[in-house]
Amino acid sequence: MMMPEPIQARFANALLAPERPLPPGFVTWNGSDPSVRFDVYRNNVVVSLTAALADGFPVTRALVGEPFFAAMARCFVVEHLPESPILTDYGDALPDFIAAFPPAHGLAYLPDLARLERARVKAYHAADARALTAEDLAPHLADPQRLPATRLVFHPSSTLLVSEHAIVSLWAAHQGQGRIEDVELHRAESALVLRDGDEVQVLPLALAIARFLAALAAGTPLGEAAEIATATAPDFDLVQALALLIHHGGITAWKPSGELAA
Amino acid sequence: MTQSRAIQTTTAAALALALGTALTLGNTAVAGEGAAKEKCFGIALKGKNDCAAGPGTSCAGSSKVDYQGNAWKYVPAGTCEQTASPTSPTGQGQLAAFKAM
Amino acid sequence: MTTIAPPAAAVGIGLKAQHVREVIDLKPTLDFFEVHAENYMGAGGPALRHLTRIRERFPLSIHGVGLSIGGSAPLDRAHLDRLATLLQRFEPCWFSEHLAWSSHGGAFYNDLLPLPYNTATLARVCDHIDEVQERLGRRLLLENPSTYVEFVASTMDEGGFLAEVATRTGCGLLLDLNNAYISAVNHGRDPWDSIAALPAAAVGEFHLAGFAEDRDGAGDRLLIDTHGAPVAEAVWDLYRRTLRHLGPRPTLIERDQAIPPLAILVAEAECARSALVDAAAWLEAA
């Protein structure tokens, strides 16, 4: 008896290889060429996965235009099929793919712009966690000697983006905030992406604040992180950095010295 | 040791001052720095699984797209053309070359 | 959370993200909503909170599109665990999946792909359904697929295959009349043959949707299950005939592409309700 494994393997292999002849084993009621019908499946796979990518990377797609995006997505899909049936998880590999994709090399900002869009989707679906409020944090002012060694835990939705390109302005210009023509593409920009309540925020950051947050995210205590940031830029605004985190619900745990992250 | 101790003490005071100020800042003071927001929140971020089929037998899936060699025939032609230097830094030349194919 | 039992002749629509706000605010005249399980498997966030609010007002049907029940590989245990968590949280009235495969060799193809119907695939599908029902602790409704090719290796027809799966596993069936019509046209058969083969007691839900039309290599009609158009008249006819044969069942209007305003989908669901009411009256008179 013919076992189904080889049939399914042949079917799967043929889905992404339209240039190869269809394997045997198919039949049509009217004797027509089964490869014409098989193309429905080939289309479904590529078109549905391209649509999923287009949904998650709308500004990336707007920048390059629909025909380029669709063709690039076609190449990506062939090399990177989803590893799970949850399509919101699909697309992690697209920014690196774009960076290595020769036809997109002229758009140096595109991989980081795609990273920003991916961070937004991940933020939307990230775990819920109660953020610490100003009231929660106020008691720590009573014991300032413990502040320098304090470590913070960020909200699970947060991603820090540090780019050599103006990805935040470019993204914002596609949301009706500023003109695309006015974006200085070569200006380095950074952002914190996180979910604040039900809204995903893209918070532009000065480079020194981005360095501060990166150090904190890596487990560096507050005092040392502040010194790293000041070394980056003497005008590092510690108040602004802390206020941004607190008021956008970015901190979920505040661990004074001696209490290391579990 | 003495020096690092001195730095830490200064930092403790500076941190306390900064944290104290940050805690008293209203939400409006923070929001004022220009968070960028999406126009139609949420829809673009939604789950993407459905059970719709694609558009028939004759589009993307049934022809091979190759970006190796000379087979590539697409040019980035979206809003990137509105930017100050559409293909910088590596290439107006590159855009022209791809357009030529 | 209370479990709300829908009326016997219930109508619903697939819940789309663009309608969520309106559904929460306006509470349309529908009996239930159906969602795709895989869209609610994130760790947290607004999507799950919105679904919780909708579940407080409406019964839910959860429809999986990624379990690959017809696949030759063992079921994805992690995915089954995620489904169990989701069903526990939302307590839907029904859980359904497809007679199809979508994963192979660790890759997910995001399409409902066909399998041959023979004793070997029958045994495997039944094993998979046993495993699903055991893990989830509830009955699964298995949906008939739209198919575009058939296999030399098939020895059973689809209706007979589904009937045998239902008998062996005790699972229910989700009869998608659009799929039944599409597959019948695509394979030169009478759609009634596969419907008449189904055990009436097993059928627990109907799906209705729209298709697109293409041509195969011989120039014959090839229908594509796009979920991108209103329900076709031929499918409404098949639905009405099926209602008189099987009796009323909860019925869902599916639309996944070219999604119209909520009111259009509600109106289409109300058409289904009229058919359900007519069929119930006809059956009572008969």
pLDDT in tens, C142-190: 999 999 999 999 999 999 999 999 999 999 999 999 999 999 999 999 9
**A52 contacts in B (CB within 8 Å)?**
48
Q: Is A32 helix (H, G, I), strand (E, B) or coil?
A: coil
Q: By the CB < 8 Å criterion, does C146 face chain B?
A: yes
Q: Which chains touch B (3 or more CB pairs under 8 A)?
A: A, C
* Whether residue A239 sits in one domain with residue A192: yes
Using a CB-CB distance cutoff of 8 angstroms, which residues of chain A are in contact with residue B45? 56, 120-121, 124-125, 200
Q: How high is the pLDDT of residue B100?
A: 29
Mean pLDDT of C4-21: 86
What burial class does residue C284 get, using C-beta atoms within 10 Å of its C-beta: 0-12 exposed, 13-18 middle, 19+ buried? Answer: exposed
C224 CB near a chain B CB, below 8 Å?
A: yes
For residue C202, the distance in angstroms to the closest alpha carbon of chain B comes to 23
Neighbours of chain C (3+ CB pairs under 8 A): A, B
Find the closest chain B residue to A82 by CA distance.
Answer: B49
User: C224 in the Ramachandran plot: left (φ > 0), alpha (ψ -120 to 50) or beta?
Assistant: beta
Residues A142 and A247 in one domain: yes
CA distance C145 to A34: 18
- The mean pLDDT value of chain A amounts to 93
How is chain B split into domains, by residue range?
A: 1-32, 64-101
Using the predicted structure, report yes or no on whether residue A204 has a pLDDT greater than 80: yes
Q: What pLDDT is recorded for position A207?
A: 93
Q: Which two tokens stand for residue A12?
A: 């799967």
Q: Residue B26 — pLDDT band, cuts 50, 70, 90? A: low
Alpha-carbon gap, residue A1 to B15, rounded angstroms:
75
User: What gap in Å lies between CA A48 and CA A70, rounded to an integer?
Assistant: 11
Q: How confident is the model at residue C15 (pLDDT cuts 50, 70, 90)?
A: very high
Do strands A199-205 and A189-196 pair parallel, antiparallel, or not at all (unpaired)? antiparallel
A120 and A225 fall within a common domain = yes
* Structural domain count of chain A: 2
- What pLDDT score does A223 carry? 95
pLDDT at position B9, please?
Answer: 52
Best CA proximity match to C223, nearest among C234, C238, C237, C239? C234
Of the three residues A85, A107, A129, the one that is the final residue of a domain is A107
Predicted local confidence at residue A21, as pLDDT = 87
Q: C279 falls in which pLDDT band (50, 70, 90)?
A: very high
Residue type, position A149, single letter: A
Q: Decide if C159 is inside a domain.
A: yes
Residue C269 in any domain: the answer is yes
Interface membership of A105 toward B (CB under 8 Å):
yes
The interface residues of chain A toward chain B in range 2-31, judged by CB-CB distance below 8 A, are 15, 17-19
Out of A35, A85, A126, closest to residue C66 by CB? A85
Distance linking the first and last C-alpha atoms of chain B: 67
Task: Report residue A24: phi and psi, to 5°.
Answer: -70, 170
* Among candidate residues C4, C7, C16, the one with its CA nearest the CA of residue C253: C16
Residues of C in contact with B47 (CB under 8 A): 17, 36, 38-40, 42, 47
pLDDT digits (tens, 9 = 90+) for C217-228: 999 999 999 999
Q: How high is the pLDDT of residue B91?
A: 39
Q: Which residues pair with A46 in a beta bridge?
A: none
Q: Where residue C125 sits, what CATH number does that domain have?
A: 3.20.20.150
Are B43 and C38 an interchain contact pair (Cβ–Cβ within 8 Å)?
no
* Shared domain check, A197 and A82: no
The answer to the question of residue C4 being in a domain is: no
Q: CA C199, CA B97: separation in Å to the nearest integer? A: 64
Q: From the list A105, A171, A226, which residue is nearest B94 (CB)?
A: A105
A61-81 pLDDT, tens digit each: 999 999 999 999 999 999 999
Check B53 against C214: CB less than 8 A apart: no
Residues 229-248 of A with CB under 8 A from B: 238-240, 242-244, 246-248
Q: Predicted confidence band at B101 (pLDDT cuts at 50, 70, 90)?
A: very low
Distances (CA, A) of B89 to A104, A162, A184: 12, 19, 12
**Closest chain B C-alpha to A246 CA, distance in angstroms:** 8
Q: Is the peptide bond before C7 cis (omega within 30 degrees of 0)?
A: no
List C-alpha distances in Å: B64 to A71, B58, B59. 10, 12, 10
**B 70-89 near A (Cβ less than 8 A):** 72, 74-80, 82-89
Distance from CA of B1 to the nearest CA of C (A): 46
C225 chain-B contacts, CB cut-off 8 A: 51-53
CA distance A215 to A218: 5
Answer whether A180's CB lies under 8 Å from A140's CB: no
Q: Is B32's Cβ below 8 Å from some Cβ in A?
A: no
- Do A118 and A87 belong together in one domain? no
Q: What stretches of chain A show up as alpha helix (H) in DSSP?
A: 4-15, 34-56, 58-64, 66-79, 94-99, 110-125, 134-137, 167-173, 207-217, 222-232, 238-247
**C101-104 and A159-163: which strand pairing?**
unpaired
- Answer yes or no: do A88 and A133 share one domain: no
In the predicted structure, residue B45 carries a pLDDT above the cut 50 = yes
C1 lies in some domain: no
Q: Is C105 in CB contact (< 8 Å) with chain B?
A: no
Mutate to test the interface with C, among A1, A22, A29, A195 (most CBs of C within 10 A): A29
Minimal C-alpha gap between C156 and chain A (Å): 14
Same domain? For A43 and A83 the reply is yes
What is A93-154 written as a DSSP string? Answer: THHHHHHT-GGGTT-TTHHHHHHHHHHHHHHHHSPP-PPPPHHHHGGGGG-GGGSTT-EEEE
Which residue in chain B is spatially nearest to C147 when comparing CA positions? B53
Cβ atoms of C256 and C227 closer than 8 Å: yes
Please give, rounded to a whole number of angstroms, the shortest distance from the CA of B42 to a CA of chain C: 8
Which residue, A60, A86, A107, sits at the end of a domain? A107
- Contact pairs from chain A to chain B, CB under 8 Å: 242
pLDDT one-digit tens code per residue, C32-52: 999 999 999 999 999 999 999
C231: containing domain: 11-285
Element (H, E) at A191: strand A189-196
Closest CA to A240 of A203, A202, A209, A207: A209
d(CA A24, CA A30): 17
Return the residue of B nearest to C40 by Cα.
Answer: B47
Q: Which of A86, A180, A239 sits opposite B83 (nearest CB)?
A: A180
Count of domains forming chain C = 1
- Say whether A38 and C148 touch across the interface (CB within 8 A): yes
Interface of B with C in 62-101 (CB under 8 A): none
Decide if C144 touches B, using CB distance below 8 A.
no
Q: Which residue has the higher pLDDT, A111 or B50?
A: A111
Q: Could you list the residue range(s) of the whole structural domain that residue A133 is in?
A: 109-262
What is the tens place of the pLDDT at every residue in A37-53? 999 999 999 999 999 99
- The reply to whether A77 and A57 lie within a common domain is yes
- Secondary element (H or E) of residue B20: helix B2-24
**CA C82 – CA C245 distance, rounded (Å):** 37
Q: Which candidate from B46, B47, B52 shows the least CB-CB separation from C228?
A: B52
Helix then strand count (H, E) for chain B reads 3, 0
Residue of B nearest to C217 (CA): B57
Question: Mind telling me how many Å the CA of B22 is from chain C's nearest CA?
Answer: 27
What would the mean pLDDT of C43-67 be, rounded to a whole number?
Answer: 96
